Amino acid sequence: MSKRSKSELEIDDVTQKISTFLSCAPNEQIIHRSKHIAYCVDAIYSLHRTSDSLAFVQPWVMYWNLHALDILDAVHWAFGDTIEYGDWEKSCLGLDTSHCVSQTVRILVECAASYPNKFKSDFSQELSAHSLDTFIRAGLDYDSHTVENGVLTRLKVRCKECGISIDCVLAESTAVVAGLLIKHHRSCSPKCARAGMILPHRAEVLNAIQSCFHTTIDQDPYSPGGYGGCQGQMPHLASTYAAVNSLLIIGGTNYPDAYEAIHRESLQKWIDTLYNPQEGSFRMHADGEVDVRATYCALSVASLLNLKLKALGAEATNGDGSTVSAGMKSIKQSKIVGFIKRCQTYEGGFSCTPFDEAHGGYSFCAMSVLLMLGKWNEANLPLLRKWISQRQCFTTGGFNGRTNKLVDACYSFWIGSVVGLSEVAEAHNVSYSDDSNHTTYDLLRWIHLVPRDHNPNDTFDFARWSNVCCVDFRKLTNFLLSAAQDATKGGFRDKPWVRVDAYHTCYSLSGLAIAQRFLPDALWKLKDINPIFNLCHDRVTSALLKFGGRGCI
């Protein structure tokens, strides 16, 4: 038997630690929304009041926290001028609280009326089985009960957010019991609301993003336009991607001034200067590195804002001033596709540049680019799916990003999104085969992934494809909710013993949003996201309608 390397021993050691943690931790099935909302709001509020290194990547910090709040359907909590007291009930629980409370009270009344005839064995076990789904959705759990003279008179339920027990006297009217539960939910609000913290004004958030934009040639003679990491930094495609996504989140929340703040013409000219026609790729910044990240960021911004990039053959002209032919446009795009294809490795995943190592993040970028260009069939999908299946750790359920690397919560999105992208790409291949039918084609109209006609009633039926999924999303969600989620302070982390941060919070929630599409019985409810852009579906649709985009496929 060959001697094992140091890295292999380290992986085994960390995997064993995570497995031990999971075996001892409670099997979480809920998302602690109030804690995560408070964490993200606090991160936005604190950004300009700290000397932390994150101040130099302001667009990313804004995007991570705004998108996390948006997935939780609580982005309005980022702006102190928009909060209504009743909004907390929906944001904290992810659905209408009054419905949950009424359902809970109905169950309590049924319990009182049927005791002890209906519940023959241990009452707590029967109650949990009878009302588990509704109780969890209402953020409650069974605590204890009281029986007097053979009659069930009191039932205590425990709030999963704060651990406080609520004593329900079942002899009282249902309205009294419902009022008691609603009163508790209102008191169990984020720390920012409880402590009276001043929330960031939307003007603050907009100004922070706009301060990163390069508006004149005087700032940088090589690159007028684009967003930097903070004021004074050179414009960078990654920062531009984060800034544009942040503005689209704000603009889609009934703030059209955020849309107007996007300098589309300047962005279009600047992005075109970063194109490398020899390789069919983009640079991250002037004289910067070339990789699939740059191509993804450029095409993502161009697709959402409907930018007519010359690099894609849009509105380009010949020497005599005539418009280039469709064939020339196809040639320009085929160069980009060729670069992406050269990045797919023998393992099946995609690397940052040709002949490099396959990586989860780069695979996401590559597949997104192919789908944005309508060239999904250019990837070797069976080989990609094989590589994806090898990214999940059988013991912990988490994903890693490369071969022989440790699991990391952020890869729940980077790898999880590629699962969805590859499934839709495969569905397209099936739809165009000789034996396809109209029903199969209907499955492709998954507007949560690729908007076509901006029809919110079109959905991709994941139930018909989940049986061939190459990963176990149920084990993944157990890893995220039990090991990566901080149920006390809020936020998500890389691994159980690591500090939470905005990056892992954003991509863990994004991964859970992907997973819920494959788990129709999930006990949480997040907003649906578009994995190509990693924005909530309604933000993508609003942007396409605003700027006249047509979607990707």
Residue 304: its pLDDT value, please?
Answer: 93
Q: Is the dihedral of CA 329, 333, 338, 341 positive or negative?
A: negative
Distance CA 321, CA 317 (A): 5
The amino acid at residue 287 is D
417: pLDDT strictly greater than 90: yes
Cross-strand pairs, 142: 157
CA angle, corner 444, sides to 441 and 446, nearest 5? 145
| Cα–Cα nearest to 190, from 162, 163, 164 | 162
- Tell which wins on pLDDT, 410 or 150: 410
Asked which of 7-11, 102-106, 378-382, 424-428 is least confident by mean pLDDT, the reply is 102-106
Residue holding tokens 């359907």? 73
With beta carbons less than 8 A apart as the criterion, state whether 74 and 111 touch: no
Active-site hit among 76, 214, 391, 504: 504
437: pLDDT strictly greater than 60: no
Distance CA 31, CA 515 (A): 13
pLDDT (average), residues 518-546: 87
**CB neighbours of residue 416 within 10 Å:** 30
Residue 532: its pLDDT value, please?
Answer: 93
Q: Provide the CA 218 distance to its chain's centre, in angstroms.
A: 37
Cross-strand pairs, 218: none
Q: Is 504 a catalytic residue?
A: yes
| Cα–Cα nearest to 440, from 420, 465, 416, 419 | 465
DSSP 287: T
pTM across the whole model: 0.75
344: pLDDT strictly greater than 80: yes
Confidence band for 428, pLDDT divided at 50, 70 and 90: low
Residue 177: its pLDDT value, please?
Answer: 61
Q: Is residue 477 part of a domain?
A: no
Residue 215: its pLDDT value, please?
Answer: 65
Q: Is 494 a catalytic residue?
A: yes
Q: Is 402 a catalytic residue?
A: yes
Q: CA-CA distances (angstroms) from residue 216 to 210, 266, 274?
A: 13, 9, 17
Residue 75: its pLDDT value, please?
Answer: 84
Cross-strand pairs, 457: none
Q: Is residue 505 part of a domain?
A: no
- Tell which wins on pLDDT, 90 or 469: 469
The packing angle between helices 537-547 and 292-305, to 10°, is 60
Active-site hit among 42, 70, 272, 494: 494
Q: List Cβ neighbours of 55 (8 Å cut-off, separation of 6 or more).
A: 47, 48, 230
Quote the percentage of the chain above a pLDDT of 70: 60
Asked which of 210-219, 270-279, 379-388 is least confident by mean pLDDT, the reply is 210-219
Active-site hit among 115, 241, 255, 411: 411
Radius of gyration of the chain from its Cα atoms, rounded to whole angstroms: 25
- Domain total of the chain: 1
Helix (H) or strand (E) holding 175, with range, is helix 174-187
Residue 334: its pLDDT value, please?
Answer: 86
Q: What is the pLDDT of residues 471-499, one digit of tens each?
A: 889 889 988 998 899 988 899 999 887 89
Active-site hit among 159, 212, 410, 536: 410
Residue 188: its pLDDT value, please?
Answer: 55
Q: Is residue 319 part of a domain?
A: no
User: Exposed/middle/buried for 6, CB within 10 Å: 0-12, 13-18, 19+?
Assistant: exposed
Asked which of 14-23, 150-159, 318-327, 360-369 is least confident by mean pLDDT, the reply is 318-327
Residue 173: its pLDDT value, please?
Answer: 55
Active-site hit among 76, 359, 391, 445: 359
212: pLDDT strictly greater than 70: yes
Q: Is residue 134 part of a domain?
A: yes
Q: Is 405 a catalytic residue?
A: yes
Cross-strand pairs, 323: 317
Q: Is residue 154 part of a domain?
A: yes
Q: What is the pLDDT of residues 72-81, one digit of tens each?
A: 988 877 665 4
| Cα–Cα nearest to 415, from 483, 497, 510 | 510
Q: Which residues form the domain of 156? A: 90-194
Q: What is the pLDDT of residues 269-285, one digit of tens each?
A: 999 999 998 889 999 99
Active-site hit among 73, 501, 528, 538: 501
48: pLDDT strictly greater than 70: no
Q: In what order do the strands lie in the sheet with 151-159?
A: 140-148, 151-159, 165-169
- Tell which wins on pLDDT, 205 or 403: 403
Q: For the chain, first and last CA: distance in Å?
A: 51
Q: Is residue 102 part of a domain?
A: yes
Q: Is residue 182 part of a domain?
A: yes
Q: Is residue 149 part of a domain?
A: yes
Q: Is 236 a catalytic residue?
A: no
Q: Is 158 a catalytic residue?
A: no
Residue 330: its pLDDT value, please?
Answer: 63
